[in-house]
Amino acid sequence: MEKLEQRIRQEGLILSDKVLKVDSFLNHQVDTRLALEIGQEFARIFAGRGITKVLTIEASGIQFAMAAGIALDVPFLYAKKKKAVTLTENLFTSEVVSFTRGETYQVSISQSYLTPQDRVLIVDDFLATGAALVGLVDIVKQSGAELRGVGCVIEKSFQEGRGLLEALGVEVHSLARIASMRPGEVTYVREAEA
Ligand code: 5GP
């Protein structure tokens, strides 16, 4: 997605060779128009797959899952990072090792909201090590729902996430695929090279 790639080049802060900060338009302050366009792009890519629900993980995937849900005219659901007191019913849970925080946490969703009749699109902001998304794939599997694909806003293609998901048989589409990055220089994977 050309517009997204440009914004990353213009506003992204490269904190290390592995960490990109995009707080001015994606992760802290959110460019709402861009978020809606991202949702429309996911809806275009995954059109015709009979998606009934968009699934993400709190907090940074929420605005994109909502945008995709609006564009596909289906609900979105976000996995919670720890058991909340309001989640008293039965849960699907999975363990995730956080890339940014370096800690292990549990993600869970209520069994009421994902059923074997659902066809799921998973959406998230970043694909890095893939740990968060593998956790969500596991939750979809537990529910008996059918996973129709994963959409990521930014993929750091030099990390192992895509390979891990593809090894699980999951179709992954990312709107900006970063091949490498260092201050002042971001290069993208072009589909022909991918
Ligand atoms: P994972 O390593 O599981 O693929 O990434 C998990 C989460 O870490 C992503 O959903 C995202 O919220 C965060 N994350 C991973 N890499 C980056 C990065 O370079 N920048 C930012 N801002 N977040 C990241």
Single-letter code of the amino acid located at 8: I
Q: Which of 42-46, 79-83, 92-96 has the highest mean pLDDT?
A: 42-46
* Range with lowest mean pLDDT among 47-61, 93-107, 122-136, 166-180: 93-107
Total-model pTM: 0.95
- Grouping H, G, I as helix, E, B as strand and the rest as coil, residue 141 is helix
Tokens of 6: 């440009």
- Select from 23, 99, 123, 150 the residue to mutate for testing ligand 1; criterion: most ligand atoms less than 8 Å from CB: 99
Statement: residue 142 has pLDDT above 80: yes
Cβ of residue 150 lying under 6 Å from some atom of ligand 1? no
Which residue is closest in CA terms to ligand 1's atom 9? 126
Angle (CA) 109 134 152, round 5°: 95
Closest Cα partner for 156 from 125, 134, 135? Answer: 125
Note the pLDDT tens digit of each residue in 1-32: 999 999 999 999 999 989 999 999 999 999 99
Listed in sequence order, the residues at least 6 apart from 10 whose beta carbon sits closer than 8 Å to its beta carbon are none
Note the pLDDT tens digit of each residue in 88-113: 669 999 988 876 677 888 999 999 99
Ordered structural domains, the chain, with CATH: 2-188 (3.40.50.2020)
Which ipTM did the prediction report? 0.97
Cβ of residue 78 lying under 6 Å from some atom of ligand 1? no
Cβ of residue 28 lying under 6 Å from some atom of ligand 1? no
